[in-house]
Chains A and B, each alone.
Chain A
Amino acid sequence: MKSFLLTMTIVATGFLGSYTRAFAQDVPGEIFVVLASQTAGPVDPSLAREPALQQPPFNMFHSMRVLSRSAMALHTSRAFTTTLPNGRTIRVELLGQTPDHRYRVRVSINRPGQSDYLQLLTVVASPADPFFVVGQNYQGGTLVIGVRVGTRATASIGTSSPRAPQPPS
């Protein structure tokens, strides 16, 4: 019996040790907030590297302006929180990494003291590939929030610096 317990302890230690090591470093990420409008106007050149925003239904917007870019340093032990232009708060939490090197993240958007706009969203994302939360009204337009986790250069955790935030154009 003692031998069995010792063996199981070693097994558990092996699993936990490797799991903890997998998330020893921060995972870089980025949140960019775009104000899209059906009013004629320019499209921010930095959005040229976002092919999804050039596809329907985003092509109904005739102008897009990047309001902010925020670099994230995600870790399973702490969530990243930032305030959106409309006063709501977006919270991004790294849940873990899948066996195929994708990230599982949880996102919520709410305003303190009010009902949630987005109560819970769980996404599995390949490194550096974005997903979008769209629909909030702001200054006559619509907010498009892009979230990307990890970097394209590497497919694992904490291997490069996050992309430097760019000022709104």
Chain B
Amino acid sequence: MTVEHLEDEKLQRYFDGETSPGESTVVRHHLDACGVCTSRLQKLEKLRGLFTEMVEDVGETPAFDAMFANIRTGIEKQKNAGFGERFRLFAGDAVTYHRRTVVSAAAVTLAAAAALVLMWSGSDSNIPTDEMPSGIRGTQVEEVQFGQDGAGTVFQIENGDGSSAAVIWINDDE
């Protein structure tokens, strides 16, 4: 003798209270005589209990209204932002996601700029004297150490063209 168990769909509708009164009577009679389907129904009840407990642990319902309000405010702010603000947002994102690449590129750019400056300041290209900044003509003593037995003095002499020449005058005992 083959026993026909309740269909899943019908058992689920009965569990949810969606079956008609006639169907509910038939299901209840089957459950009284079938341990298998009774066990299936108990599993559904157990599953609902677990779900209910999980929802209660989450706590209050999230403040969806406030969250969507913040999102709308941010969107409006970006719409009204100027170029600088938009670039800052873009650059900020770029730095955030490509920090290592950006830092390396910045360092290489800095090195290239420094090299260009030094090459320009000390290159082999001719720089006419007339183009030199004013006030740097002449010679100046930075440091002097006379001999052990010597004594001397350092002074400047005006050349008459705005520049001055450094003179180191040292006594000679020989």
Contact = CB atoms under 8 A, between A and B. Distances in A.
Contacts of B138: 125-126, 129
Contacts of A123: 139-142, 166
The winner among A23, A86, A155 for most chain B CB atoms within 10 A is A155
A52 B111 CA distance: 43
A120 B147 CA distance: 8
Interface stretch (B13-21, B50-58, B148-156): B148-156
B2 interface: no
A152 B128 CA distance: 8
Dominant secondary structure of chain B at its interface with chain A: mixed
A104 interface: yes
Contact of A18 (B107, B115, B161): B115
The winner among B124, B128, B139, B146 for most chain A CB atoms within 10 A is B139
Contacts of A122: 141-144
Interface residues of B, number: 56
Interface footprint category on A: 35 or more
Given A21-B123, A22-B118, A51-B159, A124 B144 contact: no
Interface string A10-33: 110111011101111100000000
Contacts of B108: 7, 10-11
B39 interface: no
Contact of B124 (A14, A51, A157): A157
A131 interface: yes
Given A115-B148, A134-B169, A25 B124 contact: yes
Given A14-B114, A120-B143, A129-B165, A22 B122 contact: yes
Interface string A23-60: 11100000000000000000000000001100110100
A137 B173 CA distance: 8
Interface string A107-131: 0001000011111111111111111
A49 B152 CA distance: 26
Interface string B95-120: 00000100110011011101110110
Contact of A134 (B115, B147, B167): B167
B139 A152 contact: no
A101 B52 CA distance: 83
B133 A100 contact: yes
B160 interface: yes
Given A3-B100, A55-B157, 14 more contacts: A7-B108, A11-B111, A11-B114, A22-B122, A101-B136, A119-B147, A124-B139, A124-B140, A129-B159, A131-B141, A134-B169, A134-B170, A157-B124, A158-B124
Complex A-B, nearest 7 residue pairs according to Cβ-Cβ distance, in ascending order: A22-B122, A18-B118, A14-B115, A131-B139, A14-B111, A116-B147, A52-B165
Interface of B: 100, 103-104, 107-108, 110-112, 114-116, 118-119, 121-129, 131-133, 136-150, 152, 157-161, 163, 165-172, 174
